[in-house]
């Protein structure tokens, strides 16, 4: 029986990657529609309800129009899409360098090993930290990324404790990202340096270029 090969898509756009390992790379973003969670600091809540069903081959065709090998699947929450595995596999078949941005509130075990996972561990100020799936941590590859969005000092201290309790202090790709225009960079930079924490301070580069402009 042939599976339904459609995905609910909010937007597909070409921009500069603003986060994680490939920050600064020209990238095609595939933003899926829908998310079962409601993080307090969400900056893409328009994706909760706005979207249309697109066949996977049409998505691939749109992606191929841009001269880049980097593709990021994001949301919303892309793992809430029942057919997302078919899209991920098709992107790999077409030799794209694929990353997926997920909240860490859904099982990541089925994501193909050749895809870079950027997993957002929810901090207390998100109001979703109680939904973190700790079993996901053991499924991460060394090449994957753990991201913590920091809204205040409590978030920072919680994240530091989380890393210690889960034996992640030496994990290679840990990014601390301050909530844009809420937490001053100098504060989180000072905290990281004072604690000699082995993390990368991450700016949302695209927001410093275009602000909160949609599709950027």
**Whether residue 202 has pLDDT greater than 90:** yes
**Whether residue 87 has pLDDT greater than 60:** yes
**Whether residue 1 has pLDDT greater than 50:** no
Q: What confidence tens digit (pLDDT) does each residue in 122-149 have? A: 999 999 999 999 999 999 999 999 999 9
Q: What confidence tens digit (pLDDT) does each residue in 67-81 have? A: 999 999 999 999 999
Q: What confidence tens digit (pLDDT) does each residue in 144-175 have? A: 999 999 999 999 999 999 999 999 999 999 99
**What is the rounded average pLDDT of the residues 37-53?**
91
Residue 140 sits at φ, ψ, to 5 deg, of -75, 145
Report the chain's mean pLDDT, rounded to a whole number: 94
CATH 3.20.20.70 for domain 6-210, yes or no, is yes
CB atoms < 10 A from the CB of 63, how many? 19
The C-alpha atoms of residue 56 and residue 51 are separated, in whole angstroms, by 14
- Helix or strand holding residue 201 (H, E): strand 200-201
- Res 2: pLDDT: 54
Query: What is the residue extent of each domain of the chain?
Result: 6-210
**What is the rounded average pLDDT of the residues 173-201?**
95
- pTM of the entire structure? 0.93
């Amino acid at each position: 029986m042939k599976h339904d090969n459609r995905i609910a898509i909010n937007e597909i756009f070409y921009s500069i990657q603003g986060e994680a390992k490939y920050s600064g790379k020209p990238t095609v973003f595939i933003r899926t529609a829908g998310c079962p969670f409601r993080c307090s600091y969400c900056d893409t809540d328009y994706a909760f309800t706005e979207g249309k069903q697109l066949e996977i081959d049409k998505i691939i065709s749109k992606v191929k129009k841009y001269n880049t090998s980097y593709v990021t699947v994001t949301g919303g929450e892309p793992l809430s899409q029942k057919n997302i595995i078919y899209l991920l596999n098709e992107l790999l078949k077409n030799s794209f360098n694929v990353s997926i941005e997920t909240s860490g509130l859904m099982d990541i075990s089925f994501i193909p090993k050749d895809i870079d996972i950027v997993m957002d561990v929810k901090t207390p100020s998100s109001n979703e930290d109680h939904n973190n799936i700790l079993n996901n941590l053991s499924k991460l590859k060394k090449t994957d990324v753990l991201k913590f969005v920091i809204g205040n000092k409590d978030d920072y201290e919680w994240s530091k404790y989380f890393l210690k309790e889960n034996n992640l202090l030496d994990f290679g790709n840990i990014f601390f990202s301050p909530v844009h225009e809420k937490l001053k960079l100098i504060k989180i930079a000072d905290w990281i340096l004072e604690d000699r924490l082995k993390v990368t301070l991450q700016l949302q580069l695209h927001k410093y270029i275009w602000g909160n402009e949609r599709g950027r």
